Chains A and B, each alone.
Chain A
Amino acid sequence: MPMELTQSRIQKIWLPNDNRPALPRRSCGPQLANSPTVIVMVGLPARGKTYISKKLTRYLNWIGVPTKVFNVGEYRREAVKHYSSYDFFRPDNEEAMKVRRQCALAALRDVKLYLTEEAGQIAVFDATNTTRERRGMILNFAKENGFKVFFIESVCNDPTVVASNVREVKLSSPDYRDCNSTDAMEDFMKRINCYQASYQPLDPDDYDRELSLIKVIDVGRRFLVNRVQDHIQSRIVYYLMNIHVQPRTIYLCRHGESEFNLKGKIGGDSGLSNRGKKFARALNKFVEEQNLKDLKVWTSQLKRTIQTAEALQLPYEQWKALNEIDAGVCEEMTYEEIREQHPEEFALRDQDKYYYRYPSGESYQDLVQRLEPVIMELERQENVLVICHQAVMRCLLAYFLDKSADEMPYLKCPLHTVLKLTPVAYGCRVESISLNIEAVNTHRDRPEEGKKGPNPLMRRNSVTPLASPEPTKKPRINSFEEHVAVSSALPGCVPQEVPSQLPGQNMNTSQKLS
């Protein structure tokens, strides 16, 4: 019986010595997604579908599930260069309907490619998908490819919410580049009406009762959840139930400079240096000036963050989950000492800093997993100041800024600097506020030879944040003006035939539309 194990050097994971055809072994707990999943958005325009798609994708990538958004609107804009008016979306505009269908098919082809060849786990199909016919087509497509399907329908009948959504994200859309906002608003409202006529909401009582779905009603006031199939769907549901769209601000900073920082030691549980204490007072002043309603303050359970929070004269909560990365045998050592005493470990960490686990300590990957409940709770909260540590702050920041596992361990989070994060439209605005108290620099740049692409291994089924990939900029669809396959311009995307099983794959739509 094979009982001999070897420990992998970077991740410190025990593996059997023999290289038997590997039984799948995962390093990070539950199976996140066993067969690829297509998440299909459903809803009228301006119901926050794109917002949900992007946000969910960012979250899934951060927890390590490779996910990508396929926004059919972008395919459409690519196919039809000049949007003239809502006329295009009228249900009786047959030519346009054909184009739109082609766009959907092209996007589905890319979904297939992503899930079968590019190691994607989840594809988010971001389109209105308001008709049963369209959803039936997607279901067929998924069935043929063995993909699971999960529908997310956003239902909102509050006109003020819809209007504010249109104002916030639609008026700046490329469709309305040369248009004043009143006209754009009016056109967009008509566009919504075009869909309204043929909209068939998901019907969990009858027609759609076998489908796995969540209906998000009135921006999260109510949810209907049907037939959740697996771990990842249950995680998605939980996430969607916790996010909100209230305006708020998140402040991230590290503790004030510590005694160990001064000596260049990592880890440990030392107190603040004199400059660190100065920072704590400056932070107090800063927080007062921000004049925030109901600010929550979170710290780790280490002395240096708690000392920092104590200066604020505010209630605060201690999270053990926010403690600094556990450096195991290297705790309380300087980098120099580590280099001397554990030269091999030191080199390994530079090789792959995200995966590297300190002997009997943690890796950034471990940290992301530990911080997931913090992110979930941050999503639920409003104004929060998180006083944490360098590695922890990097992980949190990577979530908000959608950074990959490769970049994360090198994000710059200097001491005595507050990052102010404000959600805007589909993303997050960052302001970096230095409180002008000197401190040592604790940042170690990526060594030159380490500047390489992310480890291609372990992408599947790992807790490895990936930056959400850009939506395919140039979809593989013929431009209707030119009738030329532009797809070949896409690196790594071989032009493919439309899957024959898909109905209506007639690419021969060379009519001019505009």
Chain B
Amino acid sequence: MFYLKQRLPLAAPARSVNTWASYMTNSPTLIVMIGLPARGKTYVSKKLTRYLNWIGVPTKVFNLGVYRREAVKSYKSYDFFRHDNKEAMEIRKRCALVALQDVKAYLLEECGQIAVFDATNTTRERRDLILSFAKENAFKVFFVESVCDDPEVIAANILEVKVSSPDYPERNRENVMDDFLKRIECYKVTYQPLDPDAYDKDLSFIKVINVGQRFLVNRVQDYIQSKIVYYLMNIHVQPRTIYLCRHGESEYNLVGKIGGDSGLSPRGKQFAQALKKFIEEQEIVDLKVWTSQLKRTIQTAESLGVMYEQWKILNEIDAGVCEEMTYGEIEVKYPDEFALRDQEKYLYRYPGGESYQDLVQRLEPVIMELERQGNVLVISHQAVMRCLLAYFLDKSADELPYLRCPLHTILKLTPVAYGCKVETITLNVEAVNTHRDKPCLNSNTLPAGHSPVRMRRNSFMPRASADTVKRPWHYSVGSKPLDLVGAFPSLEARDGADQQQLQVEAQVVPSLCFPCPPSPAVSVVLTGMQPVPRVFVSV
């Protein structure tokens, strides 16, 4: 195969020829969150989804709160969540059923591999309902329960993310706190935690206790569950900052050559000095510095006068036969390769070298270790930095190879609520531009007979986490359900020319996509798994 430089038998049999990531994806999995409100379920859901998409497993969050807010436009008070509020209970159950319906569509029709069902799911009755739903559809189920008794942690969580919830428009802090705590109490009445000793002993699950201080893991079934457990055990919520930058301008940068192992240009050395000054000014506690094993990152780190660690896996993408060539030279000497790379830059593997896809796989341990660490400065390379950045900013495989990571510029990443704040700091040392925009393409620039092969399933391809469905399947009588495809960074939808000009400058990834759609429809039909009576909700 042309892009992947992967060997496929000529007479393609129905036999499965899988790449590495196929392990992750043998049968679709439903991850079911469990826990009282303000236990970080949404945080875990979103973060895990971002990670899974980055490693190439199509994953999507289904947040029940979003469905509920869609069904019930204006939230009044915790009264809605009282367990004896029959009418509200009915609505909430129907919302769950609708969400499950969407889960089913995602996993069966939209090539999803993992659906994260983000709701409290605090009762056995609800979980049994989910389990039988999963059984009917042959989905694996993995529960993630977040248990936290520390009132301070809970209060902090409420302040950070709940106060800004669309449920509380007027933002009166004390009222919010008060109402929300009462809301939690409503759930406490009926909360049945997972019971690993008896009732739930045959389920696959992880209990995350007090924000990762302790974990209980039961019956991990497969590779992806084991990967999820490992990830959850490595993430933490301590405030910290990650700095990403490239080496200073190199001699090869000056002459436009890619790859190689050249040293810094005079301006590159100037950048190294400026970086030292910048780091000192930031006054960072316990800053770890990581470099690749290439001369240019090490020279950059050397000038900082602090300890650093060299990682071979941070080395720049291996351009194989194109190493040490300029783009012009590649175009002349390997015109086909050059065209192919433009066609499908994420999947394209240099002959005898690597693809961005390979790079993501190689960088996975770096991401895992970054999650474990506190403050870190990573001095790496353009392609490497793009892959790392795509993880933090939840960018798709499509966008990833075109992210702007200029020389002599530092990206400062700070975790906020459910996302990551990015500041771009230019150190004002001139450098060449190494960015190549995505060229205008039309598919007939491809060598004849090679249509782009889509390896969506079983591939190691980051996707941006699909947003929570903005408009769930609540549709008025007679109208059709909304097409939900738009949420995908779909490769299929990308034929022909669509240039993406990505701006990474001082961008704040929206902390939460609480959609507040201006939908006037108060009359809602909820579709469930079973025939559901038509419900008219008036609030």
Contacts and interface: CB of A to CB of B under 8 A. Distances in A.
Interface of A: 1-3, 5, 7, 12-14, 16, 23-31, 204, 221-228, 231, 234, 237-238, 241-242, 269, 301-303, 306, 310, 314-321, 331, 360, 366, 369, 377, 380
A232 to B, nearest CB: 11
Given A238-B230, A320-B361, A360-B323, A29 B216 contact: no
Interface in B332-371: 352, 358, 361, 365-366, 369
Interface in B13-30: 15-20, 22-23
Contacts of A228: 233
B219 interface: yes
Q: Most chain-B Cβ atoms within 10 A of its Cβ — which of A14, A27, A369, A380? A: A14
Contacts of B358: 320
B309 A31 contact: yes
User: Which 6 pairs from chain A and chain B are nearest by CB?
Assistant: A223-B217, A225-B215, A29-B311, A317-B18, A315-B16, A306-B7
Given A226-B215, A315-B18, 16 more contacts: A1-B272, A1-B273, A1-B302, A25-B310, A29-B309, A29-B365, A30-B309, A224-B215, A225-B217, A241-B226, A315-B16, A317-B17, A318-B17, A318-B18, A318-B20, A380-B226
Contact of A28 (B20, B215, B312): B312
A406 to B, nearest CB: 21
B302 A231 contact: no
A318 B233 contact: no
Contacts of A331: 352
Given A23-B306, A29-B313, A310 B214 contact: no
Given A1-B303, A204-B214, A225-B215, A360 B261 contact: yes
15 contacts: A1-B269, A1-B272, A1-B303, A2-B303, A3-B263, A3-B269, A5-B302, A7-B295, A26-B309, A26-B310, A30-B369, A238-B226, A315-B16, A318-B18, A320-B358
Given A27-B293, A222-B218, A377-B23, A237 B233 contact: yes
Contacts of B306: 23
A234 B372 contact: yes
A316 B214 contact: no
Contacts of B272: 1, 3
Interface string B513-536: 000000000000000000000000
Contacts of B5: 301
Nearest to B366: A29
A224 B372 CA distance: 19
A40 B234 CA distance: 22
Nearest to A372: B365
Nearest to A238: B230
Interface in B182-237: 196, 213-220, 223, 226, 229-230, 233-234
Contacts of B255: none
Given A1-B303, A226-B214, A228-B233, A29 B16 contact: no
A455 B303 CA distance: 31
Q: Most chain-A Cβ atoms within 10 A of its Cβ — which of B23, B295, B309, B366? A: B309
Nearest to B365: A29
Contact of A222 (B6, B217, B230): B217
B258 to A, nearest CB: 13
B309 A301 contact: no
A314 B23 CA distance: 16
Contacts of A319: 19-20
Contacts of B369: 29-30, 231
A13 B233 contact: no
Contacts of A13: 293, 310
Nearest to B14: A315
A221 B219 CA distance: 5
A271 to B, nearest CB: 10
A319 B294 CA distance: 26
B244 to A, nearest CB: 17
Interface residues of B, number: 56
A5 B261 CA distance: 12
Given A224-B214, A317-B19, A301 B6 contact: yes
Q: Most chain-A Cβ atoms within 10 A of its Cβ — which of B16, B216, B234, B263? A: B216
A3 B264 contact: yes
A380 B221 CA distance: 10
Contacts of B488: none
A307 B313 CA distance: 29
Nearest to A222: B218
Interface in B306-323: 306-313, 323
Contacts of A317: 17-20, 22-23
Contacts of B424: none
Nearest to B293: A13
B478 interface: no
B223 A380 contact: yes
Contacts of A2: 302-303
Contacts of A315: 15-18
Contact of B7 (A25, A224, A242, A301): A301
A381 to B, nearest CB: 9
A227 to B, nearest CB: 6
Contacts of B218: 221-223
Contact of A241 (B18, B217, B269): B217
Contacts of A28: 310-312
B298 interface: yes
Contacts of B213: 226-227
A14 B216 contact: no
B230 A318 contact: no
Interface string B272-316: 110000000000000000000111001100110011111111000
Nearest to B261: A360
A315 B26 CA distance: 14
Contacts of B323: 360
Contacts of B273: 1
B9 interface: yes
A11 B311 CA distance: 13
A52 to B, nearest CB: 16
A275 B229 CA distance: 46
A227 B223 contact: no
Contact of B308 (A23, A223, A306, A310): A23
A350 to B, nearest CB: 23
A223 B215 contact: yes
Given A222-B219, A242-B226, A380-B226, A27 B310 contact: yes
Nearest to A362: B312
Q: Most chain-B Cβ atoms within 10 A of its Cβ — which of A237, A317, A320, A366? A: A320
Contacts of A223: 215-218
A238 B298 CA distance: 31
A29 B372 CA distance: 14
Given A234-B234, A241-B226, A317-B18, A224 B216 contact: yes
Contact of A25 (B214, B234, B299, B308): B308
Given A24-B307, A234-B233, A380-B223, A222 B264 contact: no
